Amino acid sequence: MTVTQTPTEAEQRGFVQQLTTSVNWRTGLLIPFLAVVTALLIGIVLIMLTGSSFGQAMDAYAALLQGSVGSVKAISETLTAATPLILAGLSVAIAFRAGLFNIGGEGQMLVGGMCAVFVGFSITGLPIYVHLPLALLAGFIGGAIWGFIPGILKAKTGAHEVIVTIMLNYIALRLVDFFLKTELFQREGRNDPVSKTVEASAQLTQLLGWMNPALRVHLGLIVALIAAGVINWLLFRTTTGFEFRAVGANPNAARYAGMSITKVYVLVMMIAGGLAGLAGSGQILGVLDRATPGFSSNIGFDGIAVALLGRSNPWGVVAAAVLFGGLRAGGQQMQVSADVGIDLIAVIQALIIIFVAAPALITALYRLKTPAVSTQISKGWAS
Amino acid sequence: MELQLRGITKRFPGVLANDDVSLTARSGTVLALIGENGAGKSTLMNVLSGLYRSDAGEILIDGVHQTFRDPGDAIKAGIGMVHQHFMLVPVFSVYENVILGVEPTKAGGVLNRREARREVKEISERYGLAVDPDAKIENLPVGIQQRVEIIKVLLRGAKILVFDEPTAVLTPQEVEEFFGIVAELKARGATIIFITHKLKEALAVADDITVLRGGRVVGHADPTTATPEDLAAMMVGREIDLTVDKEPGTPGRTILELTDVTMVDDYGRPLLNKVSLSVAAGEIVGVAGIQGNGQTELVEAITGLLPISSGRVEFDGADISNRSVRDRHVLGIAHVPEDRNDMGMVGSFTIKENLVLDSYYAAPYSKGGRLQKASIQESALALVEAYDVRPPLIENTGGALSGGNAQKMIVAREFSRDVPLVICAQPTRGIDVGSIEYIHEQIVRKRNEGKAILIVSTELDEIFALSDRIIVMYDGKIVAERLVGETTPTEIGLFMAGKGS
């Protein structure tokens, strides 16, 4: 997913509001559920357009199901894929809440991951309960710094965070390439850009490794769930979260109430960056054990989709991330056993997002009753 | 054309917005439709303009039954709406706005500008509207913009014109001119429905008055015999006193003092020009003036929302010119802002959250950065009860409240703080009579407790009803200062228009 157009401030404000306010069972559960069902139905049509029969399409979906929840291994893969999506989704969601669009998850993941891998391989001899938290903290801080830059630029100069974060993604991507070729990072005896291996004491332990070493789901899942709980608490139970939400929903009222918009923009972008940094760290410390070019593999962008589907609600984000994780994991299986390309998964994900972002499509398709009072009707934009 | 509504009923989930509403607007007359906010006026007009379909009842034009599937049908039937919020493109010229959607074209879809300009000019002249077809909307005063809206509906063939709160955004002079236009339209045979909650205006222009309350027609009045008190009683269902009952104030020590406060815009033009004023404990100072003469900036200079260029703002003897909004709030300035939706509340927040919007950070609402749900809840329940916010459901969003109740919520938040200075900008703009009366009582009560009160209002009646001392602003300057007993609305009106000296 790449973003090439910048929405105007007003469009963005409306968009953000649409995605964060008035969450009820209908917007929060029914529409996303129908969006997923519809996207899967369209997926069948697409598979059949490639010359497969309906039966083959069903086989493909059977493989998708099998590969996502059909076995302990499948569930482990789903959760492994969901782990960084939860964190990247939270990153986008919390920024949304404060009215900012964080497109910079990729860059923040990369910078965070590089910090984590550095702490992971360069320090030796520490026990895991010191080394691992230290590496995760480094990852959070790295991402937070990469989030601080667009935050402070937005607050002080009005530079649009969408532009700045997109550009910072490119910078981060190339910085990783550069550092992986330096002596500091590059593994001895290798010419390709691969970092040194993370010490065992900084690796996120496999949760089900005692059952079968191939079950990759790792401690990062717990970290991600704790993060969701903390963000939920922060947003709805603290004065800081109150300020985030007020600034996101009505910056004028926030200013009137004496809140510092500057502080909110900077702080929320640092937290968002930190969460994405944790996502990158989790991949490094829990799955890859080393850094390679582009190890973020678009998870930062998928985080946007996860936040949209989860309506910027922390637990909604967790649910959406597990769904997308399942699609990813099942997609692999589908590719192998039903010979349907994993690209279909990307298409289905994109369709889900379109349906969630344009609920009118779903409403019309399923002839749901529209909510009776449409308050927008009589308000001109010139008012 | 004569318009008749018979038994219009419109239900929303949980709300009966219109209940068996019947009314008649006679051909070539003005019907005023009055009612409190939430009485069902807007719903009724949305039914009439084809935006909503009623659950029961019928619309007749000259006795012929009409079915409106969408706004286009209503326009074809000759109904034209002039909304309170104009729907104009600011960077387009007058004629471009007028023809938007019905553009005259030459062969091949080329816009026929000459024809468009001619049509706009003709209508403008025929009704004495005096609008330059080539002027850009953004350069025009609000009153002229409203005329553009009128030309728009006339061009589309409207014979029945519906005005939704047309005077809310106008200056007193523009209101006079608007009444002239209404008379002209009427003389040329147009039927006019005038939605308002300003009783005096309804009495001034209407031939018939219909009163709505709680979604039902509660009565009709003859403007030649009815008094504002009669109408107000019908609107709220009880006797109402439009004058504010108060003793003269007893000013104590000075709480707020401004000395030569100047504020300039980005281009260096003065918004406030050497403004000096003081407000003492136990008095109400009213700032009169036509919208846009520096009152907004004055309030923002005092509350810290906008920086001043020079001068001093003193609060209780201390210079606060450079203090933050939060600092001033903590020091003891309560502020009911001019724009309740854009500044006074967060529409998507619950009522209880809105009630702590500017005090959430302090005890008892927070402890160590954590919101104290129990205290917030408890205080919210007490406030909606004490300030009569209806419905008193603190988990509902602020945006779901009617204008008057939203304002009461904001007043509850600000007035419940025991602070020396209270600033109320347009405290009763666009709200119903019942709420106005209530808020006025609260303001006087605050003064009697010995607080310093600064009121900014464009409603001269309100200024006179509340103030002990009146200050008039014109073009960023204070042009007059009078004790309320020593002046008249006429004198103040002249100063407001920049004519007194």
Q: How far is CA B465 from the centre of its chain?
A: 18
Percent of chain B predicted with pLDDT > 90: 38
Asked if the structure places residue A309 within a domain, the reply is yes
The reported pLDDT for the residue numbered B289 is 84
Average confidence (pLDDT) over B29-33:
93
Q: Are B396 and B266 contained in the same domain?
A: no
| In the predicted structure, residue A5 carries a pLDDT above the cut 70 | no
Asked if the structure places residue A376 within a domain, the reply is no
Among candidates B12, B90, B369 on the partner chain, residue whose Cβ is nearest the Cβ of A372:
B12
Q: Are A260 and A91 in contact (CB under 8 A)?
A: no
Whether the CB of B87 is below 8 Å from some CB of chain A: the reply is: yes
The reported pLDDT for the residue numbered A179 is 94
Asked if the structure places residue A150 within a domain, the reply is yes
B-chain CB neighbours of A97 within 8 Å are none
The string of pLDDT tens digits covering residues A228-240 is: 999 999 999 999 9
Whether the CB of B338 is below 8 Å from some CB of chain A: the reply is: no
Angle at A110 between CA A109 and CA A113, to 5 degrees: 80
The reported pLDDT for the residue numbered B231 is 81
* DSSP state, residue B341: I
How many other CB atoms are there within 10 angstroms of residue A84's CB atom? 32
Whether the CB of B400 is below 8 Å from some CB of chain A: the reply is: no
Q: Grade residue B409 by pLDDT with cuts at 50, 70 and 90.
A: very high
Whether the CB of A10 is below 8 Å from some CB of chain B: the reply is: no
Asked if the structure places residue B30 within a domain, the reply is yes
The string of pLDDT tens digits covering residues B443-460 is: 999 999 999 999 998 778
| In the predicted structure, residue B158 carries a pLDDT above the cut 60 | yes
The string of pLDDT tens digits covering residues A180-202 is: 989 888 888 888 899 999 999 99
Whether the CB of B165 is below 8 Å from some CB of chain A: the reply is: no
Q: A380 and B348 in contact by Cβ < 8 A?
A: no
Last residue of a domain, one of B416, B431, B454: B416
| In the predicted structure, residue A23 carries a pLDDT above the cut 80 | no
Q: Are B384 and B478 contained in the same domain?
A: no
Average confidence (pLDDT) over A60-68:
90
Query: Of the candidates A130, A135, A132, which has an alpha carbon nearest to the alpha carbon of residue A116?
Result: A135
Average confidence (pLDDT) over A358-378:
61
* DSSP state, residue A247: H
Asked if the structure places residue A22 within a domain, the reply is yes
The reported pLDDT for the residue numbered B125 is 87
| In the predicted structure, residue B402 carries a pLDDT above the cut 90 | no
- Token representation of residue B367: 């402890």
Q: B347 and A258 in contact by Cβ < 8 A?
A: no
The reported pLDDT for the residue numbered B239 is 57
A-chain CB neighbours of B168 within 8 Å are none
How many other CB atoms are there within 10 angstroms of residue B324's CB atom? 13
Q: B305 and A377 in contact by Cβ < 8 A?
A: no
Please name every residue paired with B210 in a beta bridge, in sequence order, or none if there are none.
Answer: B33, B220
Query: How many angstroms separate the CA atoms of B410 and B387, rounded?
Result: 10
Tell me how far CA of residue B195 lies from CA of B8, B164, B442, in angstroms.
Answer: 17, 5, 28
Asked if the structure places residue A378 within a domain, the reply is no
The reported pLDDT for the residue numbered B370 is 93
Q: Are B383 and B463 contained in the same domain?
A: no
Asked if the structure places residue B337 within a domain, the reply is no
Among candidates B88, B305, B369 on the partner chain, residue whose Cβ is nearest the Cβ of A255:
B305
Q: Is the reported ipTM for this assembly greater than 0.85? A: no
| In the predicted structure, residue A379 carries a pLDDT above the cut 80 | no
Q: Provide the number of structural domains found in chain A.
A: 1
Tell me how far CA of residue B75 lies from CA of A350, B27, B159, B160, B267, in angstroms.
Answer: 41, 17, 10, 9, 44
The reported pLDDT for the residue numbered A33 is 86
| In the predicted structure, residue A158 carries a pLDDT above the cut 80 | yes
Mean pLDDT, chain A, whole residue set: 86
Average confidence (pLDDT) over A308-336:
91
Q: Are B430 and B406 contained in the same domain?
A: no
Phi, psi of B34 (to 5 degrees): -120, 155
| In the predicted structure, residue B38 carries a pLDDT above the cut 70 | no
Q: Are B449 and B455 in contact (CB under 8 A)?
A: no
Asked if the structure places residue B338 within a domain, the reply is no
Query: Judged by CB atoms within 8 Å, which residues 232-261 of A form the interface with B?
Result: 237-240, 242, 245-246, 249-250, 252-260
| In the predicted structure, residue A309 carries a pLDDT above the cut 80 | yes
Among candidates B86, B347, B371 on the partner chain, residue whose Cβ is nearest the Cβ of A238:
B371
Whether the CB of A158 is below 8 Å from some CB of chain B: the reply is: no
| In the predicted structure, residue B295 carries a pLDDT above the cut 70 | yes
Query: How many angstroms separate the CA atoms of B166 and B195, rounded?
Result: 8
B-chain CB neighbours of A258 within 8 Å are 324-326, 328-329, 358
CATH number for the domain spanning B296: value is 3.40.50.300
Q: Are B152 and B181 contained in the same domain?
A: yes
Average confidence (pLDDT) over B317-332:
93
| In the predicted structure, residue A24 carries a pLDDT above the cut 80 | no
| In the predicted structure, residue A2 carries a pLDDT above the cut 80 | no
Q: Are B140 and B21 contained in the same domain?
A: yes
Tell me how far CA of residue B491 lies from CA of A263, B278, B290, B494, in angstroms.
Answer: 48, 22, 14, 5
CA distance A112 to chain B (A): 27
Query: How many angstroms separate the CA atoms of A375 and B43, rounded?
Result: 11
Query: How many angstroms separate the CA atoms of B37 and B390, rounded?
Result: 12
Asked if the structure places residue B95 within a domain, the reply is yes
Answer positive or negative: Cα dihedral of B25, B26, B27, B33.
negative
B-chain CB neighbours of A378 within 8 Å are 42, 46, 51, 83, 85, 164
Whether the CB of B370 is below 8 Å from some CB of chain A: the reply is: yes
Q: Are B427 and B411 in contact (CB under 8 A)?
A: yes
The reported pLDDT for the residue numbered A10 is 40
Query: How many angstroms separate the CA atoms of B203 and B201, rounded?
Result: 5
Asked if the structure places residue A109 within a domain, the reply is yes
Q: Are A304 and A92 in contact (CB under 8 A)?
A: yes
How many other CB atoms are there within 10 angstroms of residue A205's CB atom? 14
Q: Are B348 and B411 contained in the same domain?
A: yes
A-chain CB neighbours of B417 within 8 Å are none
Greatest CA separation found in chain A?
A: 70
For residue A379, the chain B residue with the least C-alpha distance is B85
A-chain CB neighbours of B13 within 8 Å are 372
Out of B63-67, B471-475, B494-498, least confident range: B494-498
The reported pLDDT for the residue numbered B411 is 93
| In the predicted structure, residue A21 carries a pLDDT above the cut 60 | no
| In the predicted structure, residue A80 carries a pLDDT above the cut 80 | yes
Tell me how far CA of residue A61 lies from CA of A320, A330, A344, in angstroms.
Answer: 19, 9, 11
Q: Grade residue A121 by pLDDT with cuts at 50, 70 and 90.
A: very high
Last residue of a domain, one of B390, B416, B442: B416
Asked if the structure places residue B268 within a domain, the reply is yes
For residue A383, the chain B residue with the least C-alpha distance is B85
How many other CB atoms are there within 10 angstroms of residue B320's CB atom? 18
Query: How many angstroms separate the CA atoms of A311 and A33, rounded?
Result: 13
| In the predicted structure, residue B492 carries a pLDDT above the cut 90 | no
Angle at A99 between CA A298 and CA A29, to 5 degrees: 70
Query: How many angstroms separate the CA atoms of A165 and A222, rounded?
Result: 28
The string of pLDDT tens digits covering residues B161-205 is: 999 888 877 777 788 888 988 998 899 889 999 988 777 888 889
For residue B87, the chain A residue with the least C-alpha distance is A380
The reported pLDDT for the residue numbered B500 is 60
- Token representation of residue A137: 């903290």
A211: containing domain: 15-365
B368: containing domain: 344-416
For residue B341, the chain A residue with the least C-alpha distance is A253
Chain B interface test: which of A378, A379, A381 (most B C-beta within 10 Å): A378
Query: How many angstroms separate the CA atoms of B285 and B422, rounded?
Result: 11
Residue B240: strand, helix, or coil:
coil
CATH number for the domain spanning A220: value is 1.10.3470
Query: How many angstroms separate the CA atoms of B440 and B244, rounded?
Result: 7
Q: Are B274 and B129 contained in the same domain?
A: no
The reported pLDDT for the residue numbered A374 is 36
Whether the CB of A262 is below 8 Å from some CB of chain B: the reply is: no
B-chain CB neighbours of A247 within 8 Å are none
For residue B13, the chain A residue with the least C-alpha distance is A372
Average confidence (pLDDT) over B384-406:
87
Q: Grade residue A346 by pLDDT with cuts at 50, 70 and 90.
A: confident
Q: Are A118 and A185 in contact (CB under 8 A)?
A: yes
For chain B, how big is the Rg over CA atoms in Å?
A: 24
Mean pLDDT, chain B, whole residue set: 87
Q: Are B153 and B290 contained in the same domain?
A: no
A-chain CB neighbours of B303 within 8 Å are 256
Q: Are B142 and B14 contained in the same domain?
A: yes
Out of B110-114, B180-184, B192-196, B405-409, least confident range: B110-114
The reported pLDDT for the residue numbered A370 is 55
Q: B345 and A383 in contact by Cβ < 8 A?
A: no
Percent of chain A predicted with pLDDT > 90: 58
What 3 state SS string does A359-374 have? HHHHHHHCCCCCCCCC
Task: Name, of A376-380, B105-109, B124-128, the range with top average pLDDT.
Answer: B124-128
Write the CB contacts of B300 (distance below 8 Å, at least 6 apart in sequence). Answer: B306
Asked if the structure places residue A316 within a domain, the reply is yes
CA distance B44 to chain A (A): 13
Q: Grade residue A304 by pLDDT with cuts at 50, 70 and 90.
A: very high
Asked if the structure places residue A273 within a domain, the reply is yes
Pairing relationship of beta strands B30-35 and B191-196 according to DSSP bridges: parallel
Q: Are B314 and B432 contained in the same domain?
A: yes
Chain B interface test: which of A250, A313, A377, A383 (most B C-beta within 10 Å): A250
Residue B23: strand, helix, or coil:
strand
Q: A246 and B89 in contact by Cβ < 8 A?
A: no
Last residue of a domain, one of B416, B445, B473: B416
- Token representation of residue A75: 């569930």
| In the predicted structure, residue B43 carries a pLDDT above the cut 50 | yes
Query: How many angstroms separate the CA atoms of A32 and A187, rounded?
Result: 45
The reported pLDDT for the residue numbered A273 is 97
Query: How many angstroms separate the CA atoms of B148 and B142, rounded?
Result: 10
| In the predicted structure, residue A7 carries a pLDDT above the cut 50 | no
Average confidence (pLDDT) over B400-413:
88
Query: Judged by CB atoms within 8 Å, which residues 125-164 of B form the interface with A?
Result: 137, 164
Q: Are B280 and B252 in contact (CB under 8 A)?
A: yes
Q: B85 and A379 in contact by Cβ < 8 A?
A: yes
Chain A interface test: which of B306, B333, B342, B346 (most A C-beta within 10 Å): B346
Size of the A and B interface in Cβ pairs below 8 Å: 96
Q: Are B57 and B5 in contact (CB under 8 A)?
A: yes
Element (H, E) at B411: helix B403-415
Query: Judged by CB atoms within 8 Å, which residues 356-375 of A form the interface with B?
Result: 372-373
The reported pLDDT for the residue numbered A377 is 30
Q: Are B95 and B220 contained in the same domain?
A: yes
The reported pLDDT for the residue numbered A27 is 66
The reported pLDDT for the residue numbered A369 is 64
Average confidence (pLDDT) over B43-59:
88
Query: How many angstroms separate the CA atoms of A218 and B392, rounded?
Result: 49
Q: Provide the number of structural domains found in chain B.
A: 3
Q: Is the peptide bond before A127 cis (omega within 30 degrees of 0)?
A: no
Asked if the structure places residue B62 within a domain, the reply is yes
